């Protein structure tokens, strides 16, 4: 029996090549990274086996913690369904999703692959493994760097990594970490409980762990970064998994609680620089969160779009109704604005990721954009998937169809890698201490000058940013924090507008220019779409096209 006759009855986007149908994504990737890899093969795999297996794991085949062997030995391993193991092996080895930045490619290739994979659980397994490779590649000693090939899928038996920073008492407040490291007889030992949200628990062969060396200063700057193997030098389990979490989504990644009882560990780099290494690693995961959010939003959009083509109401297909066209237009405009912002953040990260502390203004600019992109993409995904559910009516609320899962998956994205409050506070810090907003403003003013006849809209967006930053500078610290999320959103929408208009001008694309104008109306000026938007909708998502996308 052919799979597409079964799962294809549940999913409107199943069996389609998710690279080929998503023209705006391809065009934007080529704009930012002309040499980016062709992802046709991965797009086909993402639209078939990855989508089906992710849904299957969510509904049927949850990871299980196996505590004891048949001989009574404590192992604390996680069992994954063979279908999920096959997907992970193919993504890691055959498609090499984590390989490009370390082997002559770019971060664009990696994050574009995360976008196509989309499923936050599977993407999380890949992301935390890549974060482990990142820290070891950049700051590890020779022996630690030798672990990178297996982490990025270059060996016959790939390994998995993890990043365990969050503790029960502190959450996003890393300065409150209590897990301690002590040096004895020339080696480090880690003790403490608990790393409370530990992704890849029971799956990871190596984990990056934040711990405070005994006698180090309190707060975040006293933290060191350590590499903790799953098996110690004597072949014993090196740490304990208390339990796996019961989650509303992201089922495919095992998330647990980890305890350390004199676990063997190795210092990574300079222990006094640990917090900076951790923040770099968080930049990687926040960018991955952004592209995962965008991928989830697009998957939900595709389900709703194809459904609207087939479903009839009041003697017409749903997609022929102006209100439905309006909903699809809102979703498309929001996705593309967020996509432009996320790609811009990756562009700056690509320019600066090889830097080490102390960093340049380019790195701090990348960090500022990452905070903005992580927040905006996550909120966009939650809203877009909600709209997709609504467009499918009661069917959208049924767990048997994928769009319900995409909404559940989207809801973790504003929380993972630091919720919006943390992104807002970090934005204030990088502005106040690193003056990153000055680089941002200089860059955006130059981009606005490159916009054609719509330059007035771009300049208005720049003025909005200038007013926002001026108000921030005149605020008390308490007032700045109180309105920091508004600042975060205001900056994000204005930057997205300028980028869309610039892309339209540089590509000679009336379509992207139109999207930029509509994005400005919707999110910057907060006014109704112009009267021509109904016609624009047909141009932008192509009522008669095979997908909600028109040619450039």
Q: Read off the tokens for 156.
A: 């016959």
- Chain-centre distance for alpha carbon 95: 19
For residue 193, what pLDDT is reported? 87
Query: How confident is the model over 15-28, as a mean pLDDT?
Result: 94
pLDDT in tens, 416-443: 999 999 999 999 999 999 999 999 999 9
pLDDT in tens, 113-132: 999 999 999 999 999 999 99
For 46, 106, 254, 492, the CA distances from 91, given in Å and listed in that order, are: 10, 17, 18, 32
Asked whether residue 65 carries a pLDDT value surpassing 50, the answer given is: yes
Residues 6+ apart with CB under 8 A from 9: none
For residue 177, what pLDDT is reported? 97
For 47, 297, 385, 455, the CA distances from 294, given in Å and listed in that order, are: 15, 5, 10, 27
Please check whether residue 245 is in contact with residue 197, taking contact to mean a CB–CB distance below 8 angstroms: yes
Query: How confident is the model over 314-323, as a mean pLDDT?
Result: 92
Task: Tell the burial category of 293 from Cβ atoms under 10 Å away from its Cβ (0-12, 13-18, 19+).
Answer: buried
CA dist., res. 269 & res. 140, Å (int): 6
Please check whether residue 211 is in contact with residue 190, taking contact to mean a CB–CB distance below 8 angstroms: yes
For residue 551, what pLDDT is reported? 33
Asked whether residue 543 carries a pLDDT value surpassing 80, the answer given is: no
CATH code that applies to domain 276-541 = 1.20.140.10
Indicate the pLDDT class of residue 6, thresholds 50, 70 and 90. Answer: confident
CA dist., res. 352 & res. 123, Å (int): 24
Query: What is this structure's pTM?
Result: 0.96
Which one-letter DSSP state was computed for residue 525?
A: S
pLDDT in tens, 81-112: 999 999 999 999 999 999 999 999 999 999 99
Domain chopping of the chain, boundaries = 3-66+78-151, 161-272, 276-541
CA dist., res. 450 & res. 39, Å (int): 30
| Helix/strand/coil for 390 | helix
Residue whose C-alpha is closest to residue 129's, from 154, 156, 108, 104: 154
Please check whether residue 261 is in contact with residue 208, taking contact to mean a CB–CB distance below 8 angstroms: no
Asked whether residue 337 carries a pLDDT value surpassing 60, the answer given is: yes
Asked whether residue 471 carries a pLDDT value surpassing 80, the answer given is: yes
Identify the bridge partners of residue 162 per DSSP, sorted by sequence position: 207
Average pLDDT, the chain: 94
| Helix/strand/coil for 528 | coil
Asked whether residue 538 carries a pLDDT value surpassing 50, the answer given is: yes
User: What is the fold, at CATH topology level, of the domain defined by 161-272?
Assistant: Butyryl-CoA Dehydrogenase, subunit A; domain 2 (2.40.110)
CA dist., res. 317 & res. 300, Å (int): 19
Residue whose C-alpha is closest to residue 491's, from 379, 410, 371: 371
pLDDT in tens, 138-196: 999 999 999 999 999 999 999 999 999 999 999 999 999 999 999 988 899 999 989 99
Backbone phi, psi, residue 170, to 5°: -120, -30
CA dist., res. 8 & res. 55, Å (int): 12
Residues 6+ apart with CB under 8 A from 19: 25, 26, 39, 40, 42, 43, 44, 46, 116
Indicate the pLDDT class of residue 399, thresholds 50, 70 and 90. Answer: very high
More confident residue, 479 or 542: 479
| C-alpha torsion sign, points 44, 50, 51, 52 | positive
């Amino acid at each position: 029996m052919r799979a597409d006759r079964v799962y294809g009855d549940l999913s409107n986007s199943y069996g389609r090549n998710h690279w080929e149908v998503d023209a705006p994504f391809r065009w934007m990737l080529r704009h930012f990274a002309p040499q980016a890899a062709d992802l046709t093969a991965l797009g086909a795999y993402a639209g078939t086996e990855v989508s089906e297996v992710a849904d299957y794991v969510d509904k049927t085949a949850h990871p299980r913690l196996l505590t004891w062997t048949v001989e009574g030995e404590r192992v604390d391993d996680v069992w994954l369904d063979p279908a999920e193991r096959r997907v992970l092996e193919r993504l890691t080895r055959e498609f090499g999703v984590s390989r490009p930045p370390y082997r002559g490619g770019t971060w664009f290739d990696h994050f574009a692959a995360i976008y196509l994979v989309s499923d936050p659980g599977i993407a999380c397994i890949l992301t935390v493994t890549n974060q482990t490779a990142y820290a070891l590649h950049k700051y590890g000693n020779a022996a630690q760097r030798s672990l990178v090939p297996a982490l990025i899928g270059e060996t016959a038996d790939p390994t998995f990594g993890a990043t365990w920073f969050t503790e029960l008492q502190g959450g996003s407040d890393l300065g409150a970490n209590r897990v301690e490291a002590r040096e004895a007889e020339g080696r480090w030992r880690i003790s403490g409980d608990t790393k409370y949200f530990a992704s890849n628990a029971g799956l990871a062969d190596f984990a990056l762990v934040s711990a405070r060396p005994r006698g180090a200063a309190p707060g975040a700057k006293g933290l060191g970064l350590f590499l903790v193997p799953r098996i110690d030098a004597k072949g014993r389990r090196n740490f304990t998994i208390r339990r796996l979490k019961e989650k509303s989504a992201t089922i495919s990644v095992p998330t647990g609680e980890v305890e350390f009882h004199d676990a063997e560990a190795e210092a990574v780099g300079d222990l006094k620089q640990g917090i900076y290494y951790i923040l770099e690693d968080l930049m990687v995961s926040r960018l991955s969160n952004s592209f995962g959010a965008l991928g989830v939003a697009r998957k939900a959009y595709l389900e709703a779009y194809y459904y609207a083509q087939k479903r009839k109401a009041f003697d017409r297909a749903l997609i022929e109704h102006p209100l439905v066209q309006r909903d699809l237009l809102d979703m498309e405009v929001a996705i593309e604005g967020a996509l432009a912002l996320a790609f811009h953040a990756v562009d700056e990260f690509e320019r600066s990721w090889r830097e080490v502390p102390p960093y340049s203004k380019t790195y701090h600019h990348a960090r500022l954009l990452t905070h903005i992109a992580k927040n905006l993409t996550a909120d966009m995904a939650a809203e877009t998937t909600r709209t997709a559910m609504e467009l499918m009516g009661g069917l959208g609320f049924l767990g048997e169809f994928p769009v319900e899962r995409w909404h559940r998956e989207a809801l973790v994205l504003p929380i993972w890698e630091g919720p919006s409050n943390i992104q807002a506070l970090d934005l204030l810090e990088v502005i106040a201490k690193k003056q990153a907003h000055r680089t941002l403003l200089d860059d955006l003013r130059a981009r606005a000058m490159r916009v054609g006849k719509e330059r007035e809209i771009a300049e208005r967006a720049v003025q909005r940013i200038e007013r926002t930053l001026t108000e921030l500078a005149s605020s008390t610290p308490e007032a700045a924090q109180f309105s920091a999320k508004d600042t975060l959103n205001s900056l994000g929408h204005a930057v997205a507008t300028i980028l869309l208009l610039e892309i339209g001008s540089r590509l000679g694309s009336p379509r992207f220019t139109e999207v930029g104008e509509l994005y400005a109306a919707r999110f910057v000026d907060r006014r109704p779409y112009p009267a021509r938007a109904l016609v624009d909708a047909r141009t932008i998502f192509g009522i008669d096209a095979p997908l909600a996308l028109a040619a450039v």
